[in-house]
Structure formats: C-alpha cells, structure tokens
Amino acid sequence: MSARIHEIAKQYNIEPKEMLSWLKQQGFVAADTKSVSSTVSKIYYDEIAKQFAKPEPAPVEVTPEPAAPAAVVEPARVKLPAGVFVKSAQDIQREKDEAAKAAAAARAAASATVVSAPPVVVPKPMPAPAPMVKSAPLPPPPVSAPRFAPAPAQVAKPAPAPMMRPPVAPAPMAKAPVAPPPVPAARPFVPPPSPGAKPTSFVQPSPTAPAASSMTVTEEGGVKIIHLKPPIIVRDFAVALGLKPFKLISELMEMSIFASMNQSIDEAVANKLAEKHGFLLDIKHRGETQAPAPTPEKVKQTKEEKAREEDLKNLAPRPPVVVIMGHVDHGKTSLLDAIRKANVAAGEAGGITQHIGAYQIEHNNRKITFLDTPGHAAFTKMRARGASVTDIAVLVVAADDGFMPQTDEALKHAQDAKVALMVAVNKMDVKGANLDRVKQQMQERQITPEDWGGEIVTVPVAAIKGQGITELLEMILLQADVLELKANPKAEASGVVVESEVDVGRGPLATVIVQRGTLRVGDAIVCGPHWAKVRAMFDDKGQNIKEAPPSMPVRVIGWSSSPDSGSKFMAVKNAREAENLAEEEEHRQKKEAVSAAAAPKDTSLDALFANIAAVQAKTLKVVLKSDVYGSVEAVRNVLEGIKSAKVSLEVVSAEVGIITKNDVLMAAPSKATIIGFNTKQENGVTALAKHHGVTIESFEIIYELGDRVREMMADLLEPDLKENKLGGAEVRQVFPVAKGFVAGCLVTEGKVNRGITARVRRGKEIMFEGKVGTLRRFKDDANEVRAGLECGIRLDGYDGYQPGDRIECYEIQKVRASL
C-alpha cells in the first residue's frame, strides 16, 4: 500500500514540493520523480512521521493499558479524523489481529531484556527519534499506522499493524521510561540508507540493501563451513544457511533478537544459528589474512589424526601375528603343523582344518596368529606392497645343518621389515644336532642369543616330536608383551589380504587379517581395484563367524574379483562407495599403465641393437595357473628369478584356478606352455592341448617347477655339441690291401666299432677324420674290438697311415645348451 506525496505532505502540513525534495534526498522515492502525485511506499511512513510529526499531542491516542508490554493499539480507540478514512469491519478485525501479533512479539522482546515493563506507553508522536537502547523497556508503540490512518481514502488498507521495532534500532516513538530527551522538532531525520537504520524494514528488503556478501560455503570432511567476513547480514546469512530470510528472522525472534533482513547480527548469535543448522563458521575479520583452503592432504591428515585420537581412546591388546621363515627342509611346515595340532583354540576343536593362509591358536588363554604360508616369498611380496602384517618372525634353523643360504636370506628380510626376531633351532632330536654351533653362527651374524648375552630369544625344538613347542609359544607371547601390541577394535575395519583364490562355487575368496577395527558380515570393503560386500566369513576351522576383531584371520566371501595378496583393505560406508572407490583405483591404474607405455623410449643405437638382440633372443612363454593367489605369487617369484642372457621368460598370464580349455586356446597362438601348480585340469583340456600342440606341465613342488622351466628355456637354444671319446688305438704296422692300406693297430683304450667316427692323429696334428669302414680281427671282419686286442682299421677314404699314429674313435653328442 502506498500514499501519494501530496497527500502525505498535506497530512504534515508541508509543501508537497518540499516533501518531494526531502523524499528524494532520503532515497524514499526515485531521484527523477517529478510529480507530487507519485506514491511513497508505506515502509517509509514511519521515517516520514519521525521527521515531520509535531511534538504536540498526536491526533492518535492509545489508551494506556496497565499491562504495558501488550501495548497494542486498539484501532477502535484511535481517534481518527472524521470522514477521512473508512474501514470495514473485516479491516478492523485484521488490524486487531496484526496488532495483537506485533504486540506479542514486542512482549517477547521486552521480556528478554526487561524484568518489569512500565505500565503505560503513550505513543506520542515524537518529532525526532530518541535512539533507544537495546534494552528498551517498552515495545514501540504503533505509531506509524495511526499516523497514516488519516491518509487519503485511496490508501485502501493503511499500514495498520503497529510493528515492533528491533531493540537495536532507534525506537522513535516509544517513551523512554525516564525522560525522553527533548528533540528539536525540526531536527532532520538522517536515516542512513543502510538497512539497519530502518526500524520497520526488517520484514521488507531495503532498496539500499548492501551488495551480496562474500559468504562462501565449503564442505570439508563432511562438515559444511561458512566462510565470511563481518558484518553478518541476516539476508546473506540466511542464504548461506539455506534458509528463507523470514525463517531466519523468526528464529532470531525466538532468540529474542529482532533484526531485519538487512541488519547485521553479532558473531556469537551467528555461531549459535550456524551450529543449530549443522554449519561451522569461519569468520575472517578485517586485516586477517584469509587462511588458505585446506588441501585434500590436510583434510586426510586431520582425518588420520582424528582416527589416531580415536584409537588412543579405545586401544585394546591384540594377538601377535607370527611368520615362520627359514631354509628349505629345515622344518617350517612341520613346526607350523606341530603348533596347530597342539594348540587348537578352546571350543574350536573338531573343526576341519582349512588352509586359508593363516591360522589362530590359543595358548594360556591367549591367541596367536600364524601366517601358514611358510617361507619368505609371501612375506616379501606383502612387504613389497607396503603391508606389514607381521609382528614377530621365527627363524627356523635345523640343528644339524645350521645357517644355510636361505636362512640368511630370510634373516635379512626379517631385519629389513624391522619385525621382532626369534630363532627356533629345529631337529634337536637328530644325530648331529649342534645347538651351540647354531648359536655361534647367530653370534657371527650379530644376532646373539639371549643366553649368550644378546637379545635374540632362541628356542630349541623338535617339531616332528612336538618338543619345545610350548616354550616357543610362551616366548612368542612374552615377545608380544614386550611389543605391547594393541589395536582399536571399535574403529572401521582395515587390514591386509593374506591370500586369495577363486572357488568354482563361491567365486573369489580372500583371507584377510584385520589390523584395526572389527570386520563384520555385511560390511563393505575396498581393496585397490577390488571390493566386497562381506557375505560370509569363515575361520581356519571352516567355521562361520560374524565378526573378526584385530589380528584374526578370516576368509571373506563376497568379492567382486580376486584381490592381490599383500594389498590393504578398508571398510567404507556402503557397497556403492566401495564399488566407486574400486572403479576409481582401476581407472587410475589403467591410466598409469597407458602413460608408462607412452613414455618416451630410448632411441639410441645401443638401445636399438639391444632391441634387435632381444627380438632375436628366444622366449619361453608361460601361462601360469595355480590353486591360490599366494602360490601364483610364489611361482611368479621363482620364474622371475631365472635369469638368462640367451632365453627370456614371459609370463603371458598368471591366474588362480584350474587349467581350462580357454587357457589352451590362449596359449596356442603364442606357443606358450601352460604351467599348473597344485591345480587340476578341466575335462577335455588334454585332448584340446594335443590338438593345438600346447604343452601342459603340472607341478606340486615349486623347486621342481623351477628346474623344469629352466630346462624348457634351455631347450629353446641350439644344443651344444660334445665329443664323447669311445676308444683309441695305436698304429703299429701298415698293410697294403686291394683297395689301399690298412693300419695294423693295438686298441689301447675303450673300444673300436665299425662305422664309428674316428680321426687319425700324428703327434698333435689331425691327419684325417672319417668313418671306420673296415675293422678286422685277423682275417675276419669284426664289429667291435676292445682294448688290449689287435685289429686292422681302415678309415674310408684314407690310406696315409704311419706307424706311431693314433686312431681316436668318438661320437658327437648333442647336449642341452646352458642358460
């Protein structure tokens, strides 16, 4: 609703032009307004009233009411100039309602700051506003509406509601409880066009509202942060909070804070509101340098710090994870078996032992986890992937053999991995067992046994007889105590994949060891480019379990594909997130592979020749299949260990599973050999392989596999020729015969055969090489003449024998070339 300028001017007895120019000056009408018939928005009525109302008693009177806060202007009690303004009954009712609402709000404002309000408010029109303190004891009287009530009839619905003013704003009409400072009537009203200065503007945006503030909202680690600089303007703040400004205003009112859309609120209030709506405030004051936005690393670091703090609160002891390493045949497997048999965890007896890559036993009511893939291949592979699942390494040394090359290798791996080391001297029962010699060797390697003044716990055992097992386990537990192994079982699960395989019925399976948190059926986990929704979990006895706490090895079902042993896994929010993360990782790996392939190549001549040589070099191509992922890795390691300058080895594929017809079809074009390790063949594979000329070799012992592959590689080379001496004879006489001459000889070594290759040697010089065409014993032909006997020998095509010559008989053997 609005009134025309001349009408307003008339009301205040002011020249319309004067009124127009003042309105323009205040920005209440457009600067180019020329006509006094133009209208003025009712939102300015209050300001106009403040400026032009006379100090004399107003034509509007509000009957004072004893309950001051309810200083509601009863329209019925307002004396209106007769005949000027006509209101319908509904209008009056509405005005009543609105007035009541405003009064209620005003009461709330007053009650927030005032204990008892003065009983009466006489809304005398004050010529100029006496700025009210924030704790204005009285709600502002409904001045503006009654003032404009006499406005011309075309103001169909005059601004009726006596709006309460925000306590922070000047309360122009409210009588101060003490004495309102006398204000000169003509004092010009200088309302800053700023929003906060317009007491009634809190429900109407001011035309001169400040430009949109620089509030920005960011999200870091799931927390929404509003970055802003004061002043905190209600409207902008509402936008940042995602609220309608009116909603925020009403929330402010609930807090007894009355602010218009364009007013500012203080930081404490903003903080409370932000908190209520789940935001954090980042307030930058002037002069403060804007802190750089946190980097993803920073966010990650903060998250990790949080996780660490969380862990510290919930740390609980966890069982040690032990690996057994040592030289071949020193008894690693026997020791693992002995430990397992002797110490089945209570209540688990009767379960069927499953090889899942790790098992857990109980000793003295405490659990110990053993990785049951003996040897260091799996261990090193895990380390290569950055996984350090092992706490203690037990180095097995046979008491009769002592330290051997692989013992040293295993020792180096354990030391590199910085795991706690213990030595089990095995085979103490065999003849020739020498514990002291082993200890001596330990000392030489700077791993002095405890009882020799060093730090390395050394336990003599006889795995095959089960002797010393208890002591070994006790020592392991003692070592675990020293290490103070702890983990937070309450965290989200994370850990390491120990082994994986593909089961025909159940799909990919993987044994994992939880390192932190507890893994539960139903959890979603991600492991590099693989993910799983845990459908079921089994322990090493094949028993179904629902939860796996830290250090517990479990076989997990529900994988999208076979994860790599040694890779780390972690639980995430849900399957969708797991799948997304796995996809991202797959994409990243592919990209990495593509960019590596596209990397500039060495184009030097040397490189060119090296390439030509490489092309010419023979290559043995291998398609590898194995029962479990751990074995694939182990076999691959063995194969990669075969080095040759003459033949190279190319593993076309290395997968878990049985040998299938597909493998044959894949191997055929590249003439690859299929190598199976501990795995079977699909029906019909043999026939298909024969048809395509594909060789399949199966092994159960890894060293045999290595040897055979070496042979196959060597077979690709041209064989080496080796002379095999069969016999020798000395020429004593030369006899003429019909066709030439025969050498009369004494066989001095081996034997001489007819048809064999021989050479005639005179001193160091070879006179002739050819076949033995004639071999006679006396006058008879002979096939073979042995050492010590005389005979006649003639080589086809040669007659130049002389007494004293030597006839050497030999054969050329083809032997496999060496790599």
Ligand X SMILES: Nc1nc2c(ncn2[C@@H]2O[C@H](COP(=O)(O)OP(=O)(O)OP(=O)(O)O)[C@@H](O)[C@H]2O)c(=O)[nH]1
| 429 marked ligand binding residue | yes
DSSP 75: G
| Alpha carbons 136 and 170: distance in angstroms, whole number | 9
The residue within the footprint of ligand X, chosen from 107, 147, 318, 330 (CB under 6 A), is 330
| Alpha carbons 170 and 339: distance in angstroms, whole number | 87
SS3 113: helix
Cβ nearer to ligand X, comparing 220 with 429: 429
Tokens of 183: 């204000």
| 374 marked ligand binding residue | yes
Cβ nearer to ligand X, comparing 47 with 401: 401
| 522 marked ligand binding residue | no
- 555 binding ligand X? (CB under 6 A): no
Cβ nearer to ligand X, comparing 53 with 461: 461
| 427 marked ligand binding residue | yes
Helix (H) or strand (E) holding 621: strand 618-626
DSSP 83: T
Stretch that binds ligand X, among 326-334, 410-418, 614-622, 739-747 (CB under 6 A): 326-334
The residue within the footprint of ligand X, chosen from 144, 200, 334, 343 (CB under 6 A), is 334
The residue within the footprint of ligand X, chosen from 363, 383, 427, 625 (CB under 6 A), is 427
Stretch that binds ligand X, among 321-329, 417-425, 523-531, 555-563 (CB under 6 A): 321-329
Closest CA to 509 of 527, 493, 491, 492: 527
Given the structure tokens 């261990």, which residue do they identify? 379
The residue within the footprint of ligand X, chosen from 151, 164, 457, 462 (CB under 6 A), is 462
| Alpha carbons 397 and 332: distance in angstroms, whole number | 9
State the amino acid at position 29 in one-letter form: V
- 126 binding ligand X? (CB under 6 A): no
Cβ nearer to ligand X, comparing 5 with 459: 459
Stretch that binds ligand X, among 325-333, 520-528, 553-561, 660-668 (CB under 6 A): 325-333
Least CB distance from residue 549 to ligand X, whole Å? 30
Give the Cβ contact number of residue 594 at 10 Å.
10
The residue within the footprint of ligand X, chosen from 206, 390, 426, 458 (CB under 6 A), is 426
State the amino acid at position 66 in one-letter form: P
SS3 244: coil
| Alpha carbons 580 and 205: distance in angstroms, whole number | 46
Cβ nearer to ligand X, comparing 332 with 533: 332
| Alpha carbons 384 and 133: distance in angstroms, whole number | 73
- 568 binding ligand X? (CB under 6 A): no
First to last CA, the chain: 102
Stretch that binds ligand X, among 84-92, 323-331, 598-606, 770-778 (CB under 6 A): 323-331
Secondary structure (DSSP) of 384-441? HTT----SEEEEEEETTT-S-HHHHHHHHHHHHTT-EEEEEEE-TTSTT--HHHHHHH
Contact between 421 and 447 under an 8 Å Cβ cutoff? The reply is yes
The residue within the footprint of ligand X, chosen from 41, 333, 388, 653 (CB under 6 A), is 333
Cβ nearer to ligand X, comparing 329 with 796: 329
Least CB distance from residue 460 to ligand X, whole Å? 10
DSSP 184: -
The residue within the footprint of ligand X, chosen from 124, 332, 776, 794 (CB under 6 A), is 332
The residue within the footprint of ligand X, chosen from 196, 331, 495, 744 (CB under 6 A), is 331
Cβ nearer to ligand X, comparing 430 with 610: 430
Cβ nearer to ligand X, comparing 171 with 377: 377
- Site size with ligand X, rule: CB under 6 A: 17
Stretch that binds ligand X, among 44-52, 289-297, 302-310, 329-337 (CB under 6 A): 329-337
| 713 marked ligand binding residue | no
Stretch that binds ligand X, among 245-253, 268-276, 363-371, 461-469 (CB under 6 A): 461-469
Exposed / middle / buried, residue 684 (Cβ in 10 Å: 0-12, 13-18, 19+): exposed
Cβ nearer to ligand X, comparing 460 with 657: 460
Stretch that binds ligand X, among 119-127, 322-330, 381-389, 605-613 (CB under 6 A): 322-330
- 342 binding ligand X? (CB under 6 A): no
| Alpha carbons 757 and 772: distance in angstroms, whole number | 6
- 142 binding ligand X? (CB under 6 A): no
Contact between 518 and 318 under an 8 Å Cβ cutoff? The reply is no
| 330 marked ligand binding residue | yes
| Alpha carbons 746 and 805: distance in angstroms, whole number | 11
Stretch that binds ligand X, among 46-54, 173-181, 427-435, 764-772 (CB under 6 A): 427-435
> Which residues, 366 to 425, sit near ligand X by CB under 6 A?
374-375
Least CB distance from residue 312 to ligand X, whole Å? 40
Cβ nearer to ligand X, comparing 234 with 377: 377
Task: List all residues 6 or more positions away from 212 whose beta carbon is below 8 Å from its beta carbon.
Answer: 236
| Alpha carbons 229 and 241: distance in angstroms, whole number | 15
Burial 389-404 (b: 16+ CB within 10 A, else e): bbbbbbbbbbbbbbbb
Tokens of 707: 């040897």
Given the structure tokens 């010529």, which residue do they identify? 127
Contact between 127 and 29 under an 8 Å Cβ cutoff? The reply is no
| 375 marked ligand binding residue | yes
Least CB distance from residue 586 to ligand X, whole Å? 35
Cβ nearer to ligand X, comparing 328 with 607: 328
| 528 marked ligand binding residue | no
| 788 marked ligand binding residue | no
Least CB distance from residue 372 to ligand X, whole Å? 11
Task: Return the sign of the alpha-carbon dihedral for residues 370, 373, 378, 382.
Answer: negative
Least CB distance from residue 679 to ligand X, whole Å? 18
State the amino acid at position 479 in one-letter form: Q
Cβ nearer to ligand X, comparing 307 with 464: 464
| 373 marked ligand binding residue | yes
Least CB distance from residue 329 to ligand X, whole Å? 4
Stretch that binds ligand X, among 305-313, 409-417, 456-464, 471-479 (CB under 6 A): 456-464
**CA dist 532 → 107, 120, 501, 502 (Å):** 61, 74, 14, 14
| 329 marked ligand binding residue | yes
Closest CA to 194 of 216, 209, 174, 212: 209
Secondary structure (DSSP) of 266-317? -HHHHHHHHHHTTEEEEE--TTSPPPPPPPHHHHHHHHHHHHHHHHHHH-EE
Least CB distance from residue 555 to ligand X, whole Å? 22
Give the Cβ contact number of residue 141 at 10 Å.
28
Give the length of the chain.
819
Stretch that binds ligand X, among 9-17, 73-81, 327-335, 670-678 (CB under 6 A): 327-335
Least CB distance from residue 652 to ligand X, whole Å? 28
Binding site for ligand X (CB under 6 A): 326, 328-334, 374-375, 426-427, 429-430, 462-464
Q: Which residues contribute to the annotated binding site?
A: 326-333, 372-376, 426-429
Q: Which residues contribute to the annotated binding site for GTP?
A: 326-333, 372-376, 426-429
